[in-house]
Amino acid sequence: MKKNMGGLDRIIRFTVAIVINILFYMGVIQGVLAYVLLGLSGVFVFTSITGFCLLYVIIGINTYKMKKRSF
């Protein structure tokens, strides 16, 4: 898998996943919505760690900026 997510995207997704989990464990979100959001937060954590988002490939988005090497 080739990276297609930039650093800011990864940070935002990871932060949103943490907030969803906190809201779930505090009992703010409940029921089916809670489980859907927990699943989404799992996807967010996975994509944040790998730096790859399949939806970005389908839509044609690439926010990853490769650093230029200087020799």
Q: Could you tell me which of 50, 24, 57 has the C-alpha nearest to residue 38? A: 24
Tell me the pLDDT band of 70, cut-offs 50, 70 and 90.
Answer: low
69 CB-near residues (< 8 Å, 6+ apart): none
The pLDDT of residue 67 is 72
Instruction: Name the more confident of 14 and 70.
Output: 14
pTM of the predicted model as reported, rounded to 2 decimal places: 0.84
36-67 residue pLDDT tens: 999 999 999 999 999 999 999 999 999 998 77
Q: Are 24 and 38 in contact (CB under 8 A)?
A: yes
Question: Which amino acid type is present at position 53?
Answer: C
| DSSP per-residue string spanning 11-42 | HHHHHHHHHHHHHHHHTSS-HHHHHHHHHHHH
